[in-house]
Amino acid sequence: MLERLQVRSLGIIENVEVTFGRGFSVLTGETGAGKSLLVEGLELIAGGRASADLVRTGDEKLVVEAWFDLLPSDRLSEEFEDLGILAADEVVVRREVTAPGRSRCWINDTAVTVGGLQRVASHLLAIHGQHEHYGLANPQTQLQLVDTFGDLGVWTGGVRNAWQRWVEESDEVQRLEAARGRRRDRLDAISFQEAEIDALAPNPGEDDELRIRRLRLRHAARLQALTSSVVDGLGDREGAVIEELARSERAVAEMADCGVDVGDLLRLVTEARVISEEALREVRVFGGDLRDDPAELERVESRLHALEQIMLKYGGTLEEVMDHRARLRAERTELEKVEDRLERSRRDADAALAAFDEAAVHLHRKRVEASRVMALEISRVLKRMDMAGTKIDFHWTPRPEEGSPLIRDGVQVAFGVDGVEEVELLMAANEGEDLRPMAKVASGGELSRLHLAIRTVLRQRDQSQDLTLLFDEVDSGLGGGAAAALAGLLDDLARHDQVLVVTHLAQVAGRAQAQFKVEKTVSGGRTTTSVMKVEGEARTQEVARMVAGEAVTDTARSHAAELLSETAAE
């Protein structure tokens, strides 16, 4: 329940605070007094579109704050948990809109997005605008109304899932058909790339080995000279290292004959000689492999160039080239099997379409049943509003669509996430008239009453959570007995929910448990809206104004008192 609403700097509202009670309350006042601005404020609380044009001239921002008292609700608790909002016995919603147009939202002092605000507000507040009933002409709206009334979420979810599976299978068929269409060109490209790689038959790391080999071949002459120098120094010339080390080894051995302990020294000199001899052998082997071979150098450089070119085309390294070769082989295998896969995918798509069709048939039966009951309940409510002869029916038809894969009774029909059949709300306002599309035959007043009747039966079906229901002049175009009946209907809704109504009708205002008068005044060159609760004589005067206009007569005052006394008697 909406306990309190505060609006600051919204249009001509400077600062208004209203405390509401349970049951049925009305907002009344002359046209232009600011009633619609209060509705705008609640629409902002509900997550409606924010506009800088709403900010009061000269002010930096507008602020709307609403306090809701509510009973525990599992669904609302889930929303709070998901949005990271602390739960409390009271929900405080705050919305700010700055003059530059920036909007911010808070719930229980936790900042949320507009989307998060809309999720929470849907469990607190429902706004039915004076023009909303024109949306009833939309077939999609009518479909959603039936699904909501029938609580068909399980069946609509089944159709949605089946449709999604068919879309996935159909997309796979299209992908494979496209693959088949380009298969020949792609296989030719794969064969060319495979042949190019296979002709070189590269080995991982081969390029590094060739670079080392190329460097040796380029410097073969210098390496030969250096090798000869090392061989000469170690052992080929007179006085070479090995010869001198052998002479030293003998001299140290002779030192032992003189009684000197030369064990370690002799070992070191001997090791030096042996190592030198091993080095000489290694250098001679290395030198034996050296040769100045321009033909070999050209072959190495040619091979290395070819490898580098293929790495540029298919990968930065030879390992990546080989990985590319493996992918080509896998793609070739897939393309060669595309016919088999395409056939399987077509079978899967056909099965998915059949499953969708079956789910859609079940959903359609549920919808027909729900719409029949809904039409009866709407008719009962309309009867209370002086439309006893009105007949309502929901007409279901599939829509033909050339090229559709779904066939019903030999006709290709359109289908989608919502099923197959479209719905049209038919109406006959008087006995003996044929049922015709509601949008073409209903007057403005009839549309208003039909809209309220639909909302009434929907609310009667779902009372899991108390709501604040705001009706913004849905009684437009009504009068007399129809207005009185509508007032009674609103009063019935208020037995479960809090009902707030913006109205110009005395019959509606007189039926309410509480009345708030909205008026504007001019002071200091600025227009300001105020809201006050009217009771006693002040309320009688306001209802009388609604009956007779500004020239309130004793008769009008008497009529107003009578309307109010009837409400008090109940």
- CA separation for the pair 465, 124 (Å, rounded): 8
* pLDDT per residue of the chain (570 residues) written in tens, 0 to 9: 899 999 999 999 999 999 999 999 999 998 888 888 999 999 999 998 889 999 999 899 999 999 998 776 777 888 888 999 888 888 999 999 999 989 999 999 999 999 999 989 888 888 876 555 556 777 888 898 899 899 999 999 999 999 999 999 999 999 888 878 777 788 888 999 999 999 988 888 888 888 887 877 777 667 767 777 777 777 767 668 877 788 888 888 888 878 778 788 888 988 888 888 888 888 777 766 667 778 878 888 888 888 889 889 888 888 999 999 999 998 888 778 777 888 899 999 999 999 999 999 999 999 999 999 999 999 988 888 777 788 899 999 998 999 999 999 899 999 999 999 999 999 887 777 888 888 777 766 677 678 788 888 887 776 666 788 888 877 766 677 777 888 888 888 888 889 999 988 888 999 999 999 999 998 888 889 999 999 999 999 998 998 887 778 888 888 888 888 866 555
Q: Which pLDDT score, from 0 to 100, does residue 533 have?
A: 94
111: helix, coil or strand? Answer: strand
Q: Distance from CA of residue 284 to its chain's centroid? A: 76
Phi-psi region of 67 (alpha: psi -120 to 50; beta: other; left: phi over 0): beta
Classify residue 241: in a domain, yes or no: yes
Beta-sheet strands, E only, within 109-190: 110-112, 125-128
196 and 106 in a single domain? The answer is no
Classify residue 229: in a domain, yes or no: yes
Q: Are strands 407-408 and 411-412 parallel, antiparallel or unpaired?
A: antiparallel
106 and 233 in a single domain? The answer is no
108 and 194 in a single domain? The answer is no
Any residues with CB less than 8 A from the CB of 298 and at least 6 apart, and which? none
Classify residue 49: in a domain, yes or no: yes
Classify residue 445: in a domain, yes or no: no
104 and 198 in a single domain? The answer is no
Q: Distance from CA of residue 124 to its chain's centroid? A: 23
209 and 299 in a single domain? The answer is yes
User: What sign does the dihedral 550-555-556-557 (CA atoms) show?
Assistant: positive
Q: What domain count does the chain have?
A: 2
Q: Which pLDDT score, from 0 to 100, does residue 218 have?
A: 76
191 and 331 in a single domain? The answer is yes
Closest to 33 (Cα-Cα) out of 546, 435, 528, 378: 528
CATH code, domain with 71: 3.40.50.300
- CA separation for the pair 453, 387 (Å, rounded): 11
Please compute, for residue 191, the number of CA atoms within 13 A of its CA located in the half-sphere on the CB side: 8
Instruction: Provide the H-helix boundaries in 237-317.
Output: 241-257, 263-289, 294-314
Tell me the residue range of the domain where 485 lies. Answer: 1-123+465-534
Classify residue 396: in a domain, yes or no: no
Closest to 66 (Cα-Cα) out of 85, 87, 39, 100: 39
Which of 317, 336, 355 is where one domain is finished? 336
262: helix, coil or strand? Answer: coil
Which of 281, 311, 336 is where one domain is finished? 336
310 and 220 in a single domain? The answer is yes
Classify residue 558: in a domain, yes or no: no
Q: Distance from CA of residue 381 to its chain's centroid? A: 38
Q: At what angle do helices 114-121 and 74-83 cross, to 10 degrees?
A: 170
Other beta carbons within 10 Å of 73: 15
The token pair that represents 472 in the structure block:
């913004």
Can you tell me which residue has the tokens 């090798």? 227
Classify residue 304: in a domain, yes or no: yes
Q: How far is CA 12 from CA 16, 61, 102, in A?
A: 10, 13, 20
The token pair that represents 449 in the structure block:
């009453």
Which of 336, 364, 381 is where one domain is finished? 336
Classify residue 267: in a domain, yes or no: yes
312 and 196 in a single domain? The answer is yes
Closest to 279 (Cα-Cα) out of 221, 219, 216, 233: 233
Question: Which DSSP string corresponds to 508-532?
Answer: HHHH-SEEEEEEEEEETTEEEEEEE
97-131 burial, b if ≥16 CB within 10 A, otherwise e?
Answer: bebeeebbbbbbeeebebebbebbbbbbbbbbbbe
Q: Which pLDDT score, from 0 to 100, does residue 65 have?
A: 96
- CA separation for the pair 234, 512 (Å, rounded): 121
Any residues with CB less than 8 A from the CB of 405 and at least 6 apart, and which? 170, 353, 412
The token pair that represents 336 in the structure block:
């060669």
Q: Distance from CA of residue 272 to its chain's centroid? A: 80
210 and 329 in a single domain? The answer is yes
113 and 196 in a single domain? The answer is no
Other beta carbons within 10 Å of 483: 22
Other beta carbons within 10 Å of 427: 24
